[in-house]
């Protein structure tokens, strides 16, 4: 129970406390993270595949791990109420999925603009029309420029760690921005796997609203007279400059998050066999499928490496530029129709005709490793013609 939990330093909870094996679903991993996060308040609204995780967090509230929890009237209300609760100076949590994300969309830039260290879990799924509840992560592309930090979990272990550590990153006084932790719905949320968990008797220290770079909305901090907003509708240069500099500050805060992400998540990317001439760059569950594809390719004598992108915002441009500098072919498989990750990768590197933006699956379809293998082989085949032309060679 919460009153028996001991508050410990984040470093101890994350890195020193002995972890034990637990065979749980991704939704359960979310609840296990919140159990240890010393969250004051969570607000929920049902949507598939998110609902189960917020049921479990409701159970945590009933057992005394959280101080307040309720079901709001829709996702926009949830995100607005979470914003209000964060204004009041506490640690908060919520989660949503696909169409819920889109319904709540207006609030995400408000969170970032208010410098709120809200952690929100997104269990990605298709959006209408035609309606789909199936896995796919197109909603992430809509959130790329809301100002929030975005981490993409490959599996339940990532989901647990990124949510729990997300608080430590979000609450750094030089960051103090919302963190969205994304997982591909069903593949992560509804499957069971081994997750290494620190003891449930330990929890993070409580949120310190005094370490917030903007005053808490509680009438406890001077000056008494503050407005939380830029100068709306004032048509003069000072108001333009005030608004623009605030946006710059949000972007700068996201940049400052890089060092904390490196510290807590071990880097913005992870690599395997990074010196291979062929690299697969992926995020989320596409990483797992890519690992399988790389094994199959190796059996056929084709050497390929893997770049797992963990942080989507801030985007690891420098890391990807460095790791791909000697690659001749970069394949970006994705669980969405838009190909947002491929666009990000292309925008980060030189000579981006090396990037093969695919394969892509969506509408809930799975990505068999064979699909990645065949896409890669057909790219190699067409490149062998292209590379004969000197101006196109690297």
Partner 1 sequence: MSNKILTPVKEFEELLPQEYKDLVNNGPHNGKGGVKKLGTFKEVTEAHPHCAGCGVALGIRLSLAALPAPEDTLVVGTPGCSFFALSQSAINYSNTAFGNQNAVASGLKRMLKLRYPDKHKDVVVMVGDGGVADIGLDYTLHSWFRGENITTVMLDNEVYGNTGGQESGMSLKGKVLNMAPKGKEFNKIPVFEIAKTSGCAYAAKITIANPVKLGKVIEKAVLIAREVGPTYVQLYTPCPTNLKFAPEKTIQAAKDAEKTYYSFEEFITKEAEEYLSKEAKKQETKQ
279 burial (CB, 10 Å; 0-12 / 13-18 / 19+) is: buried
Q: Which of 1, 128, 129, 232 binds partner 1 (CB under 8 A)?
A: 232
Pattern of binders to partner 1 over 87-106, x per CB under 8 A? Answer: xxxx-x-------------x
How many residues bind to partner 1 according to rule CB under 8 A? 41
Torsion-angle region of residue 302: left (phi > 0), alpha (psi -120 to 50) or beta? beta
Pick the piece of the chain touching partner 1 (CB under 8 A) from 137-145, 227-235, 258-266, 378-386.
227-235
CB of residue 79 vs partner 1: minimum separation in angstroms? Answer: 8
According to the binding rule CB under 8 A, does residue 219 interact with partner 1?
yes
**Token pair 């109420």 is at which residue?**
81
Least Cβ distance, residue 98 to partner 1 (angstroms): 20
Single residue of 194, 196, 211, 226 touching partner 1 by CB under 8 A: 226
Task: Report the residue from 9, 16, 59, 68 that binds partner 1 according to the rule CB under 8 A.
Answer: 68
DSSP letter, residue 334 = B
| Angle formed by the axes of helices 156-170 and 237-265, nearest 10° | 130
Nearest by Cα to 341 from 371, 364, 320, 368? 320
Select from 39, 267, 266, 285 the least CA-distant residue to 156: 285
Q: Is 210 in the site for partner 1 (CB under 8 A)?
A: no
3-state secondary structure of 21: strand
Q: Cα dist. 211→14, 127, 162, 180 in Å?
A: 21, 38, 22, 21
Q: How far is the CB of 219 from partner 1 (least distance, A)?
A: 5
CB of 317 to partner 1, least distance (A): 31
> Which of 35-43, 46-54, 252-260, 282-290 is the region at the interface with partner 1 (rule: CB under 8 A)?
35-43
Q: Which residues bind partner 1 (CB under 8 A)?
A: 40-41, 43, 67-68, 70, 72-74, 76-78, 80-90, 92, 106-107, 110, 217-220, 222, 224-229, 232-234
């Amino acid at each position: 129970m919460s009153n028996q939990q001991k508050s410990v330093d984040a470093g101890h909870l994350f890195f020193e406390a002995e972890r034990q094996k637990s065979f749980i679903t991704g939704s359960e991993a979310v609840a296990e993270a919140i159990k240890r996060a010393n969250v004051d308040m969570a607000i929920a609204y049902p949507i598939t595949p998110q609902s189960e995780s917020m049921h479990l967090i409701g159970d945590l509230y009933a057992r005394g791990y959280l101080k307040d929890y309720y079901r709001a009237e829709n996702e926009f209300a949830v995100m607005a109420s979470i914003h209000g609760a964060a204004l009041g100076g506490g640690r908060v949590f919520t989660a949503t999925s696909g169409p819920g994300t889109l319904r709540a969309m207006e609030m995400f830039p408000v969170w970032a603009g208010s410098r709120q260290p809200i952690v929100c879990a997104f269990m990605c799924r298709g959006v209408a029309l035609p309606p789909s509840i199936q896995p796919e992560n197109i909603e992430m592309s809509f959130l790329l420029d809301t100002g929030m930090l975005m981490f993409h979990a490959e599996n339940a272990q990532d989901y647990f760690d990124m949510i729990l550590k997300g608080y430590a990153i979000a609450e750094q006084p030089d960051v103090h921005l919302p963190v969205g932790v994304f997982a591909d719905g069903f593949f992560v949320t509804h499957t069971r796997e081994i997750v290494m968990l620190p003891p449930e008797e330990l929890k993070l220290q409580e949120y310190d609203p005094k370490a917030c770079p903007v005053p808490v909305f509680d009438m406890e901090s001077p000056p008494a007279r503050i407005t939380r907003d830029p100068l709306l509708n004032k048509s003069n240069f000072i108001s333009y400059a005030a608004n623009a500099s605030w946006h710059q500050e949000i972007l700068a805060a996201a940049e400052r998050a890089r060092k904390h992400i490196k510290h807590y998540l071990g880097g913005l990317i992870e690599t395997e066999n990074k010196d291979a001439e062929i690299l697969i760059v992926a995020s989320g569950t596409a990483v797992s499928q890519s690992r399988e594809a790389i094994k199959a390719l190796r059996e056929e004598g084709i050497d390929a490496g893997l770049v797992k992108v963990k942080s989507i915002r801030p985007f690891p441009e420098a890391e990807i530029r460095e790791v791909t500098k000697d690659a001749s072919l970069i394949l970006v498989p994705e669980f969405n129709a838009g190909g947002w990750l491929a666009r990000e990768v292309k925008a980060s590197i030189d000579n981006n005709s090396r990037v093969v933006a695919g394969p892509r699956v969506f509408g809930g379809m799975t990505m068999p490793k064979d699909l990645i293998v065949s896409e890669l082989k057909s790219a190699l085949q067409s490149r062998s013609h292209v590379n004969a032309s000197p101006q196109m060679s690297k």
